[in-house]
Amino acid sequence: MAQRVIVTGGAGYIGSHCVKRLGKLGYHILTIDNLSNGNKWAVLSGELKVVDLADTVTVKEIISSFNPHAVIHFAASIIVPESLQNPIKYYKNNTENSLNLLKILSELNIKNFIFSSTAAVYGIPEIVPVTEDAPLNPINPYGRSKMMTELIIQDISNAYGLKYTSLRYFNVAGADPEGKLGQAYRESTHLITRALKTAKGEFPYLEIYGTDYQTPDGTCIRDYIHVSDLAEAHIVALNSLLNNGESDVFNCGYGHGYSVKEVISVAKKVTGIDFKVIESDRRPGDPPQLIADCSKIKKKLNWQPRYNDLEFIIKTAWEWEKKR
Ligand code: UDP
C-alpha cells in the first residue's frame, strides 16, 4: 500500500517540485493550497483541494478523510521586504496557520510532520557556514514567524509525541530540469528570477541592493540551492520519519556562497544578455552572508545533492523563464 502524504502549498514553487518527486516515487498525495501564489497546473501528481489553512473546519475534514501518514507543510508567505511592511500577514499565514494545522494533526493523532523553515531564523550568523545549533536570532518578521513556528512544533512534539523534521532552506533557485515546473510567482523579488526577467526585458534594469557590506566585493553572499535537490531533502526526511527516525532540524544548502555580483555575472553568461545593472542602497532586513553547513543532513539522512552548480541552477531557471 502506498503511503499517504498531505502537502500544504503543493501548488507553489518548492511544493510542486516535491509533489512531482513524491508522485514519481509512488506516494499517494493530496495537496492543500489556496492558490494565492500557487497554480493548479503545477500539481503534477495526486489530488488538489483549493482551501485556505485558515478555514480550519474544512481543512480538518479533508485531513481526516485522507488520513495521511505524514504532512509536509510548505504553505507560507516568503518575501522578506513584504514581511517588514505587513507583519500581520506573516504571523497569520506562517505562525497562526501552522498552529491551526498542528492542532488539527494532534486531534487526529497524525504523527509525522515536515516543516519548511528558513535560514532567516539565524538572522546575522556570527559563524559562517552556519550549523543547526547556531543561535536563532531572526532580524525580520518573516524569519521570526518561522522561528516561532519551529518553537511551537518542538513544544507540541514534546507534549504529544509528534515527530517532526524542520528543514531550514537557504536560497532556493532553479527549475525542474525536465522543464515542467519552475518559479511562477509573478511578483517574485528573488535575485535570480529578477535578473532573468531583466534579461528578458520585463524590467529596465536590475538593482543591486547594497555594495558596502563586509564581503569581498561588498555585495551580499547567499547559498543558492537547486529546487529539485531541496525537494529531495524532503523525500529523505519523509523516509526517515516514516521509518521511525527521530525529530530533528537540518540546514538545506550546499555550503558554498555566491555574491550578488557573482550571480549577476553567471546570469549574463547563461542568457548571453548584458542587461543593465544599477547599484542601489541596502534593502532592509538583509543579512550580509548566509551559507549553510550542510554536513548534518548529508550524514544523518544521506541526502545527496545532484545539482550543486550555480550555472546549472541559473540555466534551468532561464529555460523556464523563456517559456513564460
Ligand atoms: N538582491 C538584489 N537585487 C534584487 C533582488 C535581490 O541585490 O533585485 C539581493 C538581496 O538584497 C539579497 C540577495 O540578493 O542580498 C538575495 O535576495 P533574495 O531576495 O533572492 O533572497 P533572500 O536572501 O532575501 O531570501
Please write the tens of the pLDDT for every residue from 298-314: 999 999 999 999 999 99
Residue located via cell numbers 488538489: 48
Mutate to test the pocket of ligand 1, among 128, 191, 289 (most ligand atoms within 8 A of CB): 191
Q: 13-24 and 227-242 are packed helices; what angle lies between their axes, rounded to 10 degrees? A: 60
| pLDDT per residue as tens digits for the range 38-53 | 999 999 999 999 999 9
87: cis peptide before it, omega within 30°? no
Asked if 12 contacts 75 with a C-beta cutoff of 8 angstroms, the reply is yes
- The finding on whether 241 has its CB within 6 A of some atom of ligand 1 is no
**Residues near 147 by beta carbon (within 8 Å), at least 6 away in sequence:** 117, 121, 136, 138
State mean pLDDT over 68-75: 98
- The whole-number average pLDDT for the span 83-102 is 97
The answer on pLDDT for 188 being more than 90 is no
User: pTM for the whole thing?
Assistant: 0.97
260 lines ligand 1 (CB under 6 A): yes
Residues 6 or more apart whose Cβ sits within 8 Å of residue 297: 233, 236, 250, 251, 252, 303
Across all residues in the chain, what is the average pLDDT? Answer: 97
Q: Give the pLDDT confidence score for residue 186 in this predicted structure.
A: 74
> Is the minimum distance from the CB of 193 to ligand 1 under 6 angstroms?
no
- Conformation bin of residue 214: beta by default, left when phi > 0, alpha when psi is -120 to 50: beta
The predicted pLDDT at position 285 comes to 78
- For residue 232, pLDDT beyond 80: yes
Share of the chain above pLDDT 90, in %: 95
Average pLDDT over residues 185-208: 93
Quote the distance between the C-alpha of residue 189 and its chain's center: 14
Specify the residue with its C-alpha closest to ligand 1, atom 5.
Answer: 191
Question: What is the atom index within ligand 1 of the atom nearest the CA of 120?
Answer: 25
Q: Binning pLDDT at 50, 70 and 90, where does residue 289 land? A: very high
Other beta carbons less than 10 A from residue 127's beta carbon: 10
Model confidence at 317, in pLDDT bands (50, 70, 90)?
very high
Residue 157 predicted with pLDDT over 80: yes
CATH architecture for the domain at 4-173+224-252: 3-Layer(aba) Sandwich (3.40)
Share of the chain above pLDDT 70, in %: 100
| Non-local CB neighbours of 241 within 8 Å, separated by 6+ positions | 70, 112, 113, 114, 163, 164, 165
3-state secondary structure the chain: CCCEEEEECCCCHHHHHHHHHHHHCCCEEEEEECCCCCCHHHCCCCEEEECCCCCHHHHHHHHHHHCCCEEEECCCCCCHHHHHHCHHHHHHHHHHHHHHHHHHHHHCCCCEEEEEEEHHHHCCCCCCCECCCCCCCCCCHHHHHHHHHHHHHHHHHHHHCCEEEEEEECEEECCCCCCCCCCCCCCCCCHHHHHHHHHCCCCCCEEEECCCCCCCCCCCEECEEEHHHHHHHHHHHHHHHHCCCCCEEEEECCCCCEEHHHHHHHHHHHHCCCCCEEEECCCCCCCCEECECCHHHHHHHCCCCCCCCHHHHHHHHHHHHHHC
The x, y and z cell numbers of residue 155, run together, are 513544544
pLDDT on residue 198 = 97
Integer Cα distance of 225 and 314 in angstroms: 11
Q: How far apart are CA 131 and CA 257, in angstroms?
A: 15
Ligand 1 centre from 81 Cα, in Å? Answer: 10
Q: How confident is the model over 14-35, as a mean pLDDT? A: 98
CB atoms within 10 A of CB 41: 11
Is residue 322 over pLDDT 90?
Answer: yes
pLDDT at 44: 98
Give residue 284's pLDDT.
Answer: 85
- Please give the number of the atom of ligand 1 that sits closest to the Cα of 290: 23
Q: Which CATH code fits 191-222+255-323? A: 3.90.25.10
Pairing label, strands 221-222, 258-259? antiparallel
Question: What average pLDDT does this structure show over 279-289?
Answer: 92
Give 324's pLDDT tier (boundaries 50, 70, 90). confident
pLDDT digits (tens, 9 = 90+) for 254-281: 999 999 999 999 999 999 999 999 999 9
Give the mean model confidence (pLDDT) for residues 93-121: 98
pLDDT category at 141 given cuts 50, 70, 90 is very high
Looking at the annotation, which residues are catalytic? 142
Domain boundaries, the chain: 4-173+224-252, 191-222+255-323
Task: Tell me, using a 6 A CB cutoff, whether residue 195 lines ligand 1.
Answer: no
pLDDT at 269: 98
Quick one: average pLDDT of 28-47?
A: 97
